[in-house]
Amino acid sequence: MILPSGPGTPAAWSSDHLRLHRSLLRRPELLPRGAPLLLAVSGGQDSMAMAGLLLDLQPLHHWRLHLWHGDHAWREDSAQQACELQSWARDRQLPIRVERLEAPETRGNREAAARRWRYRCLQREALRLACHHVLTAHTASDRAETVLLHLARGSHRRGLVALRRRQPLAALLGSEPARVPGERPGRSGTAIVSREVEGGSGDVPAHSPPGSQPREPIGPDAPVPAPAAFSTLWLVRPLQLFTRQDTERICRHEGWPIWQDATNAQLELSRNRIRAQVLPVLEQLHPGAARRISDQAERLAAEQEQQQELLDLALIPVQIGPLQLDRGALLRLSRASQGLLLQHWLRRCRGQELDSRSLAELLPRLEMQRGPGRMDLAGGWQLSWRGTTLALRPPRLIAGHG
């Protein structure tokens, strides 16, 4: 164990600083020494605890910290909060970029739409800064809430490993274009526009008093980095060793400001009800429940990584071409193993697996006595089987054959 020492170590370090420091030493790939880090900071207790702790640890790890704040324009005071947060960052010589969602969604799942907007903005900002690590302040409490929601909804086992400590940022964006910022037609036809400014160097936020000169909004034709670069970006959640109660205590103890978000108290949102009504009961029954649920999700994530490696090996004798499997070899496996291997192969080939209903329908149809057949998949893909061959055909080949 390496303990902090030397002139760069503040004497006022708390036990929480030490916990985070030790955690990062155990997993140096999370936040590499000397790396530029982009922190998503909402102003709430979790993100302020993250920013404060990492700023204090910076002399020892030599990171280059950059902050990003997304203003969803859901509250009347959100612009004022953005200004105050930028002032806090400027006082600590932390560069910060503020972006505002000029036309927020008012229909449908606005939480999901806002999350996609944030991740697209963070992706573009990280690429602009040549930063490979984007940090969010999800805690063990957030992960426990997600696990409980997924369990209640009947999630696949993979849904129980949500909010991993480290994962490719591109995995959270799916196949959506990285048109950030600028106009993007939403489902309701609303144009979503971002305005951005950079702080820490004398610039002003997008909602500054009259006379200030914010940057102009970036238009829809703004250059977008090549998709090949997206895979190099990592989303890291360094605070998962803390709970929400921990981050509140840390901020109070250190005197770091907290900007409350009234939308977190809206109980019509499922996550807020889990947070306000379910987790507190579990904590009363079994103190430390949130942390244990989060730890279990981390163990499941490790098991899933091991399983993926084994599936790669198991696929070798079954795969007879880039988009072809040996149907006979596949059918010699148990039904459960057939499903696992098929889903793994489909994820690798097309980035998406079958839903559970389609998989249950497909497996019996693959039996040799059923003869040839085919199944149309989402996105224009097609599975077909004849004799000893199971083939996956991409949309362009299907279109080419009319």
Return the residue matching tokens 């105050």. 84
Predicted local distance difference test score (pLDDT) of residue 327: 95
Per-residue model confidence as pLDDT tens digits over 140-193: 999 999 999 988 888 777 778 888 999 999 888 864 444 433 334 333 323 233
When comparing pLDDT for 212 and 362, which is higher?
Answer: 362
- What the block records as the tokens of 160 is 């129980």
Predicted local distance difference test score (pLDDT) of residue 260: 87
Predicted local distance difference test score (pLDDT) of residue 265: 74
Tell how many helices (H) and how many strands (E) occur in the chain: 14, 12
Reference 144, options 286, 275, 304, 303; nearest CA is: 275
Read off the pLDDT band of 108 (50, 70, 90). low
CA atoms within 13 A on the CB side of 269: 16
The yes or no reply on domain 316-400 and CATH 3.30.1370.100 is no
When comparing pLDDT for 374 and 112, which is higher?
Answer: 374
Q: CA dist 205 to 47, 66, 96, 268, 391, Å?
A: 19, 15, 9, 32, 54
Percent of the chain with pLDDT over 70: 80
Q: Which fold has domain 15-294?
A: Rossmann fold (3.40.50)
- Distance separating alpha carbons of residues 263 and 275, to the nearest angstrom: 13
Per-residue model confidence as pLDDT tens digits over 271-290: 889 999 999 999 999 999 99
For 325, other C-beta atoms within 10 Å of its C-beta total 24
- Distance separating alpha carbons of residues 37 and 40, to the nearest angstrom: 10
Predicted local distance difference test score (pLDDT) of residue 284: 95
- Which DSSP letter does residue 176 get? -
For 116, other C-beta atoms within 10 Å of its C-beta total 18
- If you average pLDDT over every residue of the chain, what do you get? 82
When comparing pLDDT for 54 and 2, which is higher?
Answer: 54
Beta-strand ranges (E) seen in 41-162 are 64-71, 96-101, 133-135
Prediction pTM value: 0.74
Is residue 47 within 8 A of residue 68, CB to CB? The reply is no
Q: Where are the domains of the chain?
A: 15-294, 316-400
Lowest mean pLDDT among 11-20, 118-127, 170-179: 170-179
Q: Which residues contact 395 (CB under 8 A, 6 or more apart)?
A: 379, 380, 381
Per-residue model confidence as pLDDT tens digits over 40-87: 999 999 999 999 999 999 999 999 999 999 998 888 888 999 999 999
Per-residue model confidence as pLDDT tens digits over 219-262: 333 344 444 444 579 999 999 999 999 999 999 999 999 998 77
- Distance separating alpha carbons of residues 303 and 287, to the nearest angstrom: 26
When comparing pLDDT for 223 and 26, which is higher?
Answer: 26
Is residue 385 within 8 A of residue 366, CB to CB? The reply is yes
Read off the pLDDT band of 305 (50, 70, 90). confident
